[in-house]
Chains A and B, each alone.
Chain A
C-alpha cells in the first residue's frame, strides 16, 4: 500500500495535494477517527487516481463513507467537463442507479404487535423476490415493454398500475432520465433485464420496515410527512443484472481504445472515454436506460409493499397513506450545471456511492421540498439506524451538489463473516427488536452492524461541513434481505 500525503485544510476536510499525473487535488470529508480507518485501506490512493481523469475539474472528492472500491473509491464524486472531459463507467459502478426510496405511512410502530410484525415481514418476503436469480415479481416483460421501461422508467410502472403520478413527483428526475438509447444496449443486457423488474437482489440491498425514532428538525420532518414513532419503509436496490451488464460491456469496449484517446490511466477499472466519442455517447445512452430500469424496479417494489401492508393491516390506500417521501440514486453520472473556477459550467458529475443533495431553492428540487432542500436518504448498517437528511447550500459550493450515501464499510466481508461465526445472528437481531427474513445467512453475516462505520458519524461530518443536515433518524423493526 502506497503512503498518501494528506493534510487537514478545514475541520472536516482533508486535502491530497496535486502531484505528478494528478490534474486536480483530492478532497476528503472525514473526522479524525474516520481518517484513521480510511488510511488503513487503498481508498486514498483511489481518490488520487481519480484526480488523473481527463477533464476532471475542481477536485477528486470523497464523502465520509469512503471505502476501498475498484477504480473509484466508494463514496467518490468526480465532475468532468461535459464538452472536453471523460466519462468513466467505473465511476458510476456496476449497479447503475443503485438507490434508496423512503415511503411514509399513517401507522405508528407502537400499534404493531409482534405477531403482526412477523406476519408483515413474512408477507413482504414473499411479495418482493430476493437473492441470486430472483425474478417473477411481475410477468416477464415483452421486448417492446422492456424498451418502454428503458426509455420511460418509473412512468412505465405507473401506467401499468404500479403506483400513481405523485410517486413520480417525489423521484429524482421524476424517475426517468432523458436521452436513454436502447439501441446502445447489448442483447445480453436486454436478456438479463426481462425478468428482474420488481426484485431486490442480494448483497447490501434490502427492504426495511422502520420506525421514526428521533426527529432533529420538526418543521422539515413535517414537510416530508414524517412524525415520531411512525412506520416507514426504506427500499435499497438498483438496476440488477441489466445494469451490471451495461457497465461491463462498456468497460470492455472502452479498454482497448484508451491509447487512441490518448488516455493513460493508473487503473484499468477507471477506463474512460471522451464524452463526445462514440463509446462515451453510447455509454451515456445505455447508462440512462439502466437508470430508468432501476427507478422502475424500485417503483414496482414499492407497489408490492403497499399491497402487502394493505392486506396485512386490512387498510385501504387512503387510510394507509403510504406516500413516497423521495427516491434518490447514488451510483450515476449526470450532466449538471455547477460553478467552477468562478463561472457556470456544464459538467458530468460521477457519483459512485454518493447522493445528490440539492439545497433549498434549487430548480431541480420538487416544489413540495423547494423550501426545505432535497430529501436525502442515508441507510445505516443492518439492525442499526438510518437517516433522512436535507440538502444544504454548501453542497453546491463544494461537492457538486453531492453528499454521503450510507455508513460505509470498515471491515471486509471475509472478516465480518469470521467475526459472526458461531453467533445466532437472527436471534441477536430479534433481541434488538428487528425481525429479519433473508434468503441467505451469509449476506446477513457480511452486513452486520460491526462491519460498518457508525452512520451517525458520517451524517454528522456532512452536517458540520454544511453539505446536508439531519432531519430524522429511523430504526429498523423488520428487514428483508437477499
Chain B
C-alpha cells in the first residue's frame, strides 16, 4: 500500500496536522503516525506484541477522522497501548473497521507524552483532492 504523509501545522496555541494519501485508509494511517509523533516526540517503532480492533461510525468523513484520532489517544491514555501500525479491513465514507498492532508502554513513558485535551472541529476536513485523485485532511488538536 502506498503510504500517506503528514506535516505539522504551525498553530500558535495548539498542534495540528495536514494529511495526504492516495486513499482514505492511507490518510488515516498517516494521522495515527502524525498524532503519536506530536504527542510522543517521535514516531513509535518496535515489534508489535498485542492488537486492538476498532469499529467506528460517524455522520461524516471528517467526523470519522476526529473519532479515529480520539481512539488512538484513548488507547494510549487508558491502556498505555501505543499503536505501531494499523490495517483497515473496510473504509466506507462514514464507517470503518481497523486492526491496530502495538505495544503496552511503561506508565512513566506514557506520562511523559503530551496530553491531548481534544481533537477539535476547527478547520477539520477530510476530502478528495481536486486534482490528482488523492485525499487530503486537516486536524487541529487542543493540547
Residues on A close to B: CB < 8 A? 41, 43, 67-71, 74, 90, 93-95, 130-134, 201-203, 241, 244, 247-248, 251, 255-256, 267-269, 271, 409-415, 439-443, 446, 482
Contacts and interface: CB of A to CB of B under 8 A. Distances in A.
A315 B107 CA distance: 34
B114 A133 contact: no
A203 B143 contact: yes
21 contacts: A43-B12, A67-B13, A68-B13, A69-B13, A70-B120, A70-B122, A70-B123, A71-B120, A95-B117, A131-B113, A131-B115, A132-B77, A132-B110, A132-B112, A203-B115, A241-B77, A247-B118, A256-B59, A269-B122, A413-B14, A413-B143
Contacts of B14: 69-70, 413
Contacts, number: 109
Given A271-B121, A440-B112, A412 B142 contact: no
Given A94-B142, A439-B111, A443-B114, A412 B12 contact: yes
Nearest to B107: A133
Interface residues of B, number: 33
Contacts of A269: 120-122
Contacts of B107: 133
A412 B121 contact: no
Contact of A414 (B10, B111, B117): B10
A255 to B, nearest CB: 7
Contacts of B80: 133
Given A67-B12, A131-B110, A482-B115, 9 more contacts: A67-B13, A70-B14, A202-B115, A241-B77, A244-B142, A412-B11, A412-B12, A442-B114, A482-B111
B15 interface: yes
A241 B142 CA distance: 12
Nearest to A255: B121
A181 B97 CA distance: 36
Contacts of A74: 13
Contacts of A130: 111
A441 B109 CA distance: 12
Contact of A244 (B8, B117, B140): B117
A133 B78 CA distance: 7
Interface string B31-50: 00000000101000000000
